[in-house]
Amino acid sequence: MSEKKPVSKEILPVTNLPEGMEIATLGGGCFWCVEAVYQEVEGIKSVISGYSGGTPETANYKAVGSGNTAHAEVAQITFDPKVISFAEILEIFWNTHNPTTPNRQGNDVGPQYRSVIFYHSPEQKAVAEKSKAEVATEVWEDQIVTEIVPFQGFWEAEDYHQDYYNTVGDRNPYCTFVITPKVAKFQKQFADKLRKN
């Protein structure tokens, strides 16, 4: 029997990042919801739905949906730190999903729906830990279960998952009853951070 290789804890760099931009990789339940919220935020250049936390071999919707891979559904967010900080992105994160329910967001149940921040640098790790301790606990009374772990890889989800809410909208009851109220709440609570064009 071959010996398992130890998993590297090195933070992997993101390639092809536009100059001056930074990346945030966040899991807060169904990636359609996370994507829909952050697409509304000023300073966000792109939001891509995908999978992080597992291996490339199982980075597909069917495998991840089984709950038997180590992946989480995530949004990879490219942002301009001169317009919006990582700390501000996390403030939105805490307010637009429930970080107190392990492996669950509403009716979406399984480890792929866990609350997780995949940090891309020691600076992001420090900001995330401070935000979890100070901001999240102001928003939620129950214990925060969000994982803060090093980024190890991102695999883009299938094409039909991208820009899902804007494309499908209320033709899918999930959008009507789950995503639309979440986006409306965000728009009201963070009116000062809404995209201007």
- Active site (catalytic) residues: 30
CA 47 centroid distance within chain: 9
Q: How far apart are CA 118 and CA 190, in angstroms?
A: 23
Cross-strand bridge partners of residue 24: 77
Contacts of 19 (CB under 8 A, 6+ apart): none
Q: How far apart are CA 155 and CA 99, in angstroms?
A: 23
Which is nearest to 106 in space by CA: 179, 50, 194, 166? 179
70: left (phi over 0), alpha (psi -120 to 50) or beta: alpha
Q: How far apart are CA 143 and CA 127, in angstroms?
A: 19
Contacts of 52 (CB under 8 A, 6+ apart): 25, 27, 71, 72, 74, 76, 116, 118, 151, 152, 153, 154, 155
